[in-house]
A and B are shown apart, each in its own frame.
Chain A
Amino acid sequence: MIQKIYDWIDDRVDITPIWRDIADHEVPEHVNPAYHFSAFVYCFGGLTFFVVVIQVLSGMFLTMYYVPDIENAWRSVYYLQTQVAHGQIVRGMHHWGASVVIVMLLLHTLRVFFQGAYKKPRELNWMIGVLLFFVMLGLGFTGYLLPWDNKAYFATQVGLQIAEQVPFIGEHLLTLLAGDPNIVGAQTLTRFFAIHVFFLPAALFALLAVHFILIRRQGISGPL
């Protein structure tokens, strides 16, 4: 049945070369843990991406209940956590995944660093990776505020004060992030929500696309 549908489409628009080009390619022996178990270190990048996918999916579902409003944000999180079926699991995935993604990302960075895989011709991809790291930290910072509990509020307070320490533009940066020069409040929450759910994911997807395209163009770095 599925084969028939596939053939019907493929007959008309010839999709086989498209997915072949994306998915069907050789993985060298030295990065395949099935041959050398120690090659599991090459999996951290893929694992980071895997957790990112979990984050995107669980985040999409969380917004079905969450509202970025200071009167209702905490209550909506409390509701989805206590009343909604599997709410604890979905929010738990997003909560724990947020930490796991940073861990995986750091392990991936360490592997690339200590194998010298960032060297010519792959310097550009290292830089893209650093940008990805910053985007991830931004996602962590903005997401932390959204439950609007005490920990979230004061962590953000501290984070914004750190931003304020930036030379020359610090105060403007704080206002731009918080929406008000003195208050962490209604406008801060809506801004952080917009940044967390739209702006940073957009940047993340664009950078990930470049990251992956560069890997395909340049291939995986050779064995040590």
Chain B
Amino acid sequence: MAAGLLAPMIRFAIDPVLQSQEKSGDLVNVNLSVDDITDTPQRVDWEVQQVDGWYESNINRTAWVYKDENGEIVALSPICTHLGCFVSWEGSEDYPNEFYCPCHDGRYYKDGTNVPGTPPLRPLDVYEHAVENGMLYLGEPKPREGA
């Protein structure tokens, strides 16, 4: 009887865990022409629709976008993989050519790989991206394996 009473409640409580499948959101035009992407990471801001249970809203997203040495477009999430602060390109004068997190001196190389010995345990997430009619489209940030 206790099980019969508790089972629905427990299933109710853990629903978010069982519901969450890997979602691939639609790619969104971020209003940046591919021609304007240089080899220096630049900050790109755009809006996406977010559904949070019963609450729908538009939220801001940010990426650091550049072309690597092969001309490939890279769009990195600015969210520090240590504890979620905002990471900036050359955010500290002491560390040129690196992403820098002001919270605990977390650092990342240009390709987003975390500098060993600094707090982050894995590289910055990478946004899915596509190019259509010369414009950049970005999707969901995807985590990568630790260094």
Contact = CB atoms under 8 A, between A and B. Distances in A.
A179 B54 contact: no
Contacts of A158: 83-84
Given A179-B53, A180-B53, A181-B20, A161 B84 contact: yes
Interface string A147-160: 00000000001100
A212 B52 CA distance: 43
A187 interface: yes
A53 interface: no
Contacts of B17: 172, 175-176
A186 B54 contact: yes
Contacts of B55: 70, 185-186
Given A157-B84, A161-B83, A180 B14 contact: no
B16 A175 contact: yes
B52 A183 contact: yes
A67 to B, nearest CB: 14
B83 A180 contact: no
B33 interface: no
B40 interface: no
Contacts of B20: 175, 180-181
Interface residues of A, number: 16
B50 interface: yes
Given A186-B53, A187-B53, A176 B14 contact: yes
A155 B82 CA distance: 14
A186 B55 CA distance: 7
A157 B82 CA distance: 12
A130 interface: no
Contacts of B52: 180, 183, 185-187
Contacts of A70: 55
User: Is the contact region of chain A dominated by helix, strand, or loop, or is it mixed?
Assistant: helix
Interface string B85-127: 0000000000000000000000000000000000000000000
Contact of A180 (B16, B82, B84): B16
Given A183-B50, A186-B52, A186-B55, A176 B84 contact: no
A162 B121 CA distance: 12
A181 B14 CA distance: 12
Contacts of B82: 161
Interface string A177-203: 011110101110000000000000000
Contacts of A180: 16, 20, 52-53
B16 to A, nearest CB: 5
Contacts of A176: 13-14, 16-17
Interface of B: 13-14, 16-17, 20, 50, 52-55, 82-84
Interface of A: 70, 157-158, 161-162, 172, 175-176, 178-181, 183, 185-187
29 contacts: A157-B84, A158-B83, A158-B84, A161-B83, A162-B83, A172-B17, A175-B17, A175-B20, A176-B13, A176-B16, A176-B17, A178-B16, A179-B16, A180-B16, A180-B20, A180-B52, A180-B53, A181-B16, A183-B50, A183-B52, A185-B50, A185-B53, A185-B55, A186-B52, A186-B53, A186-B55, A187-B16, A187-B52, A187-B53
Shortest Cβ-Cβ A-B pairs, 3 listed: A185-B52, A186-B55, A187-B53
